[in-house]
Amino acid sequence: MTMSTDDEIAALTARLRRLETAEAARALTAKYALALDRKDFDALADLFTGDAVLRAGPKTCEGREAVMAFFRHALEVADPSAKKHFVVNQRVTHTAPGEVRVDSYFLYTAVGPASVLGWGTYADVVGVDDDGRARFREKSIAVDVAADVREGWATSPL
């Protein structure tokens, strides 16, 4: 059975929306890494929905304000060193129209009192509105290694 022209157009339109949603989510992760590196908290806040949930290790933050309090503390108090984040091996899975899950690895370097090399994983739920704007609804961060390279990252537990 062949599809009608209208069905073909509908199928192509749905496929295009899925591709655009995936690309918007990938672009969001790049904006996230850049905002972290620049410590641009206004830009970072704009990447999360108002009711976003952040899970970082045993800590869970609910709502944009709590998420931003976490990042401000992490980047200005706990470890104010200069960092560069790299997001790699992104796998995008469509979960609903306008929503995807993005699983990826990250690597970061930090220069300050210590010279740190670290890596881990992100598990994100990203919503994309009708205008193509992507925001994190959920973000989970799992750091596997954060080691001072002068001491040797290979000696850190995985």
With CA atoms as reference, report the closest residue to 141 among 18, 41, 46, 59.
59
pLDDT tens, per residue, the chain with 158 residues: 687 898 898 889 889 999 999 999 999 999 999 999 999 999 999 999 999 999 999 999 999 999 999 999 999 999 899 999 999 999 999 999 999 999 999 999 999 888 899 999 999 999 999 898 999 999 999 999 988 888 775 655 55
Domain ranges of the chain: 5-155
CA 53 to chain centroid = 12
* Strand arrangement of the beta sheet that strand 59-62 belongs to: 59-62, 48-56, 134-148, 115-128, 99-111, 82-96
Topology, domain 5-155: Nuclear Transport Factor 2; Chain: A, (3.10.450)
With CA atoms as reference, report the closest residue to 126 among 23, 13, 33.
23
Q: Distance between CA 121 and CA 142 in Å, rounded?
A: 5
Condensed to tens digits (0 to 9), the pLDDT of residues 11-29 reads 898 899 999 999 999 999 9
